[in-house]
């Protein structure tokens, strides 16, 4: 990890730069795959599954028998853990349900908003180097609470064309309707356009690598919504002398092991802590099963020493991290100043791993600085709102003249006439 001491503000953007990808090259590949999936449907999915996943499969859909059989292939200990996590996730997301509230904006003018579920949603679950069955819970549970009518899920198979049984068990646990053994760009294309087997959906959810992220962004041009740009994982830790170097190092490594294109950053105003964390990172790295992946991510990562806490906060807000960890003694001094972050973890005993698995909050979060303008996934992500209004005769008598004046000023005579006709009718009756 690169150590940077007391950076000048003019250099902050460069210091906080993320690993770059060849967007133009990816866009060309994405559109090529999209066209083939649109034209050839399932045949193209089989082709790309062979090409990119190295799996020869006869059908893209996972049978109900395979899903049922997964239960016997998962340990009871893990099933118990999934149940606890699912209960916490359900409890947290259920709290976000809202009831329509009627607002009388003026006498006789009533307005309200109703939330309705998105009928058809598609969930993408990464499954290459690390099968993220936890993401099935994070996306499937709020989809069920929201009342989505059709929930389909795509995840890449292994070389034998099989899906990790824990992913399938999680699908059964949360009530996913249909599961497909396809990954990458082709999975996003299948859900966006539909094939003979895979249904077209209205919105696509889920994290993925740079190609999945590029594909998700491309489908927004084709009339399909996405949750957010959610690419390579990242974490920023703000820590002082009250933090535990071993804990900070473990949090940095927990994100570095996600992928070679992940990025982790520590910002502190305590130089001794930075030195201790650097030593601890190297020590813990040696024992990781994914140490090669983590090592590559650490090459893109930084340990930044600043003069004071306020600078650390300003740097963090400029970066807009997916995950933000506060390991400081005066956390309240920082909380109100946080403007840009996907999810925040407070104190020495709140590891980011808790949010990834079981505390209850959602781990599908904006990356690459999108936390400056996007929220993480929540119950509302699976719903849309419809506004309603009802105006009585008295209400239109009061509000109508205002509308007439504004419509006339915009030279929209028909708008004005729609009110004037009604007002004349009301006057004629009285």
Cα(158)–Cα(336) distance, integer angstroms: 45
Does residue 35 have an active-site annotation? no
Provide the terminal-to-terminal Cα distance of the chain, rounded to the nearest Å: 80
Written as six digits, the tokens of 346 are 């407070």
Give the residue extent of every domain in the chain.
2-19+232-360, 23-105+117-229, 392-429
> Which CATH fold would you assign to the domain 392-429?
1.20.5
pLDDT of 229 reads: 78
Residues 361-370: tens digit of each pLDDT: 999 999 999 9
233 is in an annotated binding site: yes
Which residue bears the tokens 């956390």?
A: 331
Beta-bridge mates of residue 3: 303
pTM above 0.85, yes or no: yes
Tokens of 141: 């549970």
Domain 2-19+232-360 architecture? 3-Layer(aba) Sandwich (3.40)
The two domains 23-105+117-229 and 392-429 share their CATH topology (first three levels equal)? no
Q: How far apart, in whole angstroms, are the C-alpha atoms of residue 423 and residue 343? A: 52
- pLDDT attached to residue 131: 82
Q: Among all chains, which residue has been given the structure tokens 């004629």?
A: 428
For residue 71, indicate whether it is catalytic.
no
Q: What is the dihedral of CA 139, 134, 33, 35, to 10 degrees?
A: -20
- Please indicate if the annotation marks 356 as binding a ligand: yes
Task: Kindly name the residue from 234, 257, 322, 352 that is annotated as catalytic.
Answer: 322
A 10 A CB-CB count for 113 gives 13
Fold of domain 23-105+117-229: Rossmann fold (3.40.50)
323 is known to lie in a ligand binding site: yes
CB 62 within 8 A of CB 179: yes
pLDDT tens digits, residue range 217-259? Answer: 999 999 999 999 777 889 999 999 999 999 999 999 999 998 8
Active-site residue (options: 93, 234, 311, 323): 323
Kindly state the percentage of the chain with pLDDT values over 70: 99
Residue 64 is encoded by which pair of tokens?
């109900």
Mapped to the 3 state alphabet, what secondary structure does 182-245 carry?
Answer: CCHHHHHHHHHHCCCCCCCCCEEECCCCHHHHHHHHHHHHHCCEECCCCCCCEEEEEECCCCCH
Is 209 annotated among the ligand-binding residues? yes
The response to whether 186 counts as a known ligand-binding position is yes
Give the three-class secondary structure for 173.
helix
């Amino acid at each position: 990890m690169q150590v940077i001491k007391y950076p000048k503000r003019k250099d902050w953007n460069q210091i906080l730069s993320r690993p770059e990808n060849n967007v133009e090259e990816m866009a060309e590949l994405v559109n090529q795959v999209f066209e083939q999936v649109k034209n050839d449907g399932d045949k193209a999915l089989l082709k790309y599954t062979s090409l990119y996943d190295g799996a020869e499969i006869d059908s893209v859909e996972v049978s109900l028998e395979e899903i049922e059989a997964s239960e016997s292939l998962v340990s009871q200990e893990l099933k118990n853990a999934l149940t606890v996590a699912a209960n916490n996730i359900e409890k947290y997301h259920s709290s976000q349900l809202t009831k329509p509230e009627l607002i009388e904006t003026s006498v006789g003018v009533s307005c309200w908003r109703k939330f309705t579920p998105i009928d058809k949603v598609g969930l993408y679950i990464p499954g290459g180097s690390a099968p993220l069955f936890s993401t099935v819970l994070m996306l499937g549970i709020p989809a069920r609470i929201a009342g989505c009518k059709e929930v389909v899920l795509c995840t890449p198979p292994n070389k034998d064309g099989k899906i990790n049984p824990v992913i399938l068990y999680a699908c059964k646990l949360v009530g996913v309707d249909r599961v497909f053994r396809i990954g990458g760009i082709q999975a996003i294309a299948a859900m966006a356009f539909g094939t003979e087997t895979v249904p077209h959906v209205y919105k696509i959810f889920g994290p993925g690598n740079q190609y999945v992220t590029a594909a998700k962004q491309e489908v927004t041009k084709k009339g399909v919504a996405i949750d957010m740009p959610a690419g390579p994982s990242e974490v920023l830790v703000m820590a002082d002398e009250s933090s535990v170097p071993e804990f900070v190092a473990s949090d940095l490594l927990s994100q570095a092991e996600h992928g070679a294109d992940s990025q982790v950053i520590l910002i502190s105003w305590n130089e001794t802590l930075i030195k201790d964390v650097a030593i601890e990172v190297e020590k813990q790295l040696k024992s990781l099963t994914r140490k090669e992946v983590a090592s590559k991510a650490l090459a893109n990562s930084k340990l930044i020493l600043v003069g004071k806490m306020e600078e650390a906060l300003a740097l963090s807000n400029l970066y807009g991290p997916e995950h933000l960890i506060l390991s400081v003694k005066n956390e309240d001094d920082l909380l109100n100043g946080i403007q840009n972050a996907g999810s925040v973890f407070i104190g020495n005993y709140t590891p980011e791993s808790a949010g990834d698995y079981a505390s209850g909050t959602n781990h599908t979060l904006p990356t690459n600085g999108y936390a400056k303008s996007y929220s993480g996934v929540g119950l509302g992500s699976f719903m849309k709102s419809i506004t309603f209004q009802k105006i009585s005769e008295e209400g239109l008598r009061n509000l109508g003249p205002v509308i007439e004046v504004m419509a006339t000023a915009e030279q929209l005579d028909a708008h004005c006439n729609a009110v004037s006709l009604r007002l004349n009718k009301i006057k004629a009756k009285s």
